[in-house]
Amino acid sequence: MFLERISRPRCVEAWLAASQAVEANAGHEAHNVLIDVEDPVTESDADREAIELVDGFLTENTETGFPVRTVANTIFPQSLYEDHGAPAFYDIYLKKVFPRLKRSPQDWGRYFERMIAYPVVDDVDNLLERLILKMKRNVDGGRPFRNIYELPIYNPVKDAEGRPRGGQCLSYLSFKLDGEQRLLLTAVYRNHFYTEKLLGNLIGLGRLMQYVAERVGVAVGSLSILSTHAQVDKGKSTTPRGEVHRLHSECAALLADELEDA
């Protein structure tokens, strides 16, 4: 059975609606879940409060305890970009930040690292910068090429022989320009943990979109995610499933209060 497509205005609302829908499904999992976020870069006060609740849950109930911002940074290191700008932050990330993050020689990497140092024969390639420059050339030149901006994350040579668990979950990014020259993004995940990762993923992808849009000179449009397998994880095996329900209920109450005050 397929879940209905989930469309919400902002990232936190989309995370909550998708999590509740998958949680209610058999086994707390689903396949081919489609999520749309109309405005993936705006956060309300209630959104920020909900993110704090999620951070508290992750700190108490997961082995890593990584907060939402840490997950978002695996896709786009916002603070590094704000501090150093482009293109300088690419080299700083690869030479100073990434070596501290890589846990072992067998570590598959990070999403942003794959974007800017994608492994090719005897070298690496900054696929993200290539995509930005191509898109900007076409926009500046008035060319109507809107559907030619693809960015792979999964490497079929390197990843096919990797460990069956703990590898990359984000597989592919497809950027588009609509008829009003707004940047759209569709992200494909092979496997998706909605409690520990989805909210940070949505925020990180929104920040990536904002970066690309600023460099190209276009507006940010909608974000879509296809989770080919989704699961509402509860963190540690000892965490009661009721704690996930409580998190969802508390976040829903914050968002409802915001609507009533509007």
pLDDT of amino acid 163: 61
Q: How far is the C-alpha of 46 from the C-alpha of 217, rounded, in Å? A: 30
Other CB atoms within a 10 A radius of the CB of residue 178 amount to 13
Domain 6-261 in CATH 3.30.572? The answer is: yes
Q: With residue 32 as reference, give the H or E element that holds it.
A: strand 29-37
Distance CA 54, CA 86 (A): 31
Q: Residue 1 has what pLDDT?
A: 67
Supply the pLDDT for residue 178: 96
User: What is the Cα–Cα distance from 15 to 203, expressed in whole angstroms?
Assistant: 10
Q: Are 202 and 36 in contact (CB under 8 A)?
A: no
Q: Provide φ and ψ at 233, rounded to 5°.
A: -75, 155
CA distance 154 to 252: 34
pLDDT for position 106: 59
Task: State residue 109's pLDDT score.
Answer: 80
Q: Report the predicted TM-score, pTM, of the whole model to 2 decimal places.
A: 0.95
Place of tokens 């942003």: 112
Mean pLDDT by 10 residues, the chain (262 residues): 92 98 97 98 97 97 92 97 97 94 71 92 91 96 92 84 71 96 97 97 98 98 98 94 97 88 66
Q: How many CB atoms lie within 10 A of CB 88?
A: 12
Q: How far, in Å, are 70, 111, 130, 206 from residue 154 at the CA level?
A: 21, 9, 17, 20
**In the prediction, which pLDDT does 258 show?**
79
Q: What is the pLDDT of residue 103?
A: 65
The token pair that represents 255 in the structure block? 């968002």
**Inter-residue contact 28 to 22 (CB < 8 Å):** yes
| Strand blocks (E) in 168-260 | 170-177, 182-189, 192-193, 219-231
Cα distances (angstroms) measured from residue 12 to each of 36, 81, 112, 130, 186: 12, 23, 22, 31, 18
Encode burial over 125-152: b for 16+ CB neighbours within 10 A, e otherwise.
Answer: ebbbeebbeebeebbeeeeeebeebebe
